[in-house]
Amino acid sequence: TLEGQLGARTAGSYFDQAQGKMVVTTTDAADVQAIEASGAVARVVPRSGPSLDAIMTFLDRTAAVPGTAWAVDPAANQVVVWVDSTVAAQARTKVQIAVQQANNKAAAEQGQSAASAPPAVRVENEPGKFSLFIQGGDAIYGGQYRCSLGFNVVSGSTYYFLTAGHCGNIASTWYSNSSHTTTLGTRTGTSFPGNDYAIVRYTNTSISHPGGVDLYSGSQDIASAGNAYVGQAVRRSGSTTHVHSGTVTALNATVNYAEGTVRQMIRTNVCAEGGDSGGALFAGSVALGLTSGGSGNCSSGGTTFFQPVVEALNAYGVNVY
């Protein structure tokens, strides 16, 4: 890929909806011709991918308090830190100190003072609370909770479904109804925190498991799995709020929930609510992610984070169909 060829010189790419083109960043003006030859728009930026990644790692180490999240904003060539309404003054001060230290270090790398250099990190307030979207795609039930089925997957002749790891941690047996009389299957793997994915093997042979995503008025066939990109138009399906659409706003986000930290998440402006956890994120026939959590709701809007589905497929050796 072009980004692979650019290596450490690029700080990421994003889809510019106004231009209808991908924008590829580079720290070296000598790359502009090759980028434009590929059909993309070239943008020369001051900070490299490794420089921004180092800031992410620094924040992971120094600013990890519940109610915060951070990710690289390739369009701004910055790291953005989001602080939700639950973060108290003392914790907020801890985050602000870490951000100032990161900005000081980034300025020094550029040979500038922190006062004169444009900030490498910016802080934004997130209305509401970052929480896992679980509560007491198609509804699935385990323990006392309801989640959503993400994608049906297969390995050989054995069928499974993917959902969120924070759902998978709750129960080993999953049902299609709240009275727990119709079994779907048995959990065979779960990963949360750190990641947020789980897999359940179908054990009920009378249950059909088509490969598409429920749109609650028809379905969307899923033909493949892929990696999201910033600026991508996406849709999400879940058992509480059904289908909502929006845009990918960041990749590789760190989210500090009260229950634990997850990393390398997809951040979007698609809304979701309790019970939507585990549901599918997709673009056309391409599977992209599993609903993790976020803030807000589908009345006022919100932010939702997703576990990239490719990582889950690779972890369990399964495929969408």
Write out the DSSP string of 24-80.
EEES-GGGHHHHHHTTSEEEE-SS-HHHHHHHHHHHHHH---TTEEEEEETTTTEEE
**C-alpha to C-alpha distance for 27 and 29, rounded to whole angstroms:** 7
- Active-site annotation holds for 244: no
Catalytic residue among 196, 214, 292, 295: 196
Q: How far apart are the first and last CA of the chain?
A: 26
- Active-site annotation holds for 196: yes
12-50 in b/e form (b: 16+ CB < 10 A) is bbbbbeeeeebbbbbbeeebeeebeeeebbbbebebbbe
State how far the alpha carbon of 293 is from the alpha carbons of 164, 246, 265, 273, 281, in Å.
Answer: 10, 15, 10, 8, 12
**C-alpha to C-alpha distance for 264 and 60, rounded to whole angstroms:** 12
Catalytic residue among 166, 191, 237, 239: 166
Give Cα 253 distance to the centre of its chain.
7
**C-alpha to C-alpha distance for 66 and 85, rounded to whole angstroms:** 11
**C-alpha to C-alpha distance for 247 and 23, rounded to whole angstroms:** 16
- Active-site annotation holds for 166: yes
The structure tokens 């889809």 sit at 15
Strand partners, 168: none
Give Cα 206 distance to the centre of its chain.
33
**C-alpha to C-alpha distance for 299 and 288, rounded to whole angstroms:** 24
Peptide bond into 74 cis (omega under 30): no
Are 272 and 291 contacting, i.e. CB atoms less than 8 angstroms apart?
yes
Catalytic residue among 131, 237, 239, 277: 277
Active site residues: 166, 196, 277
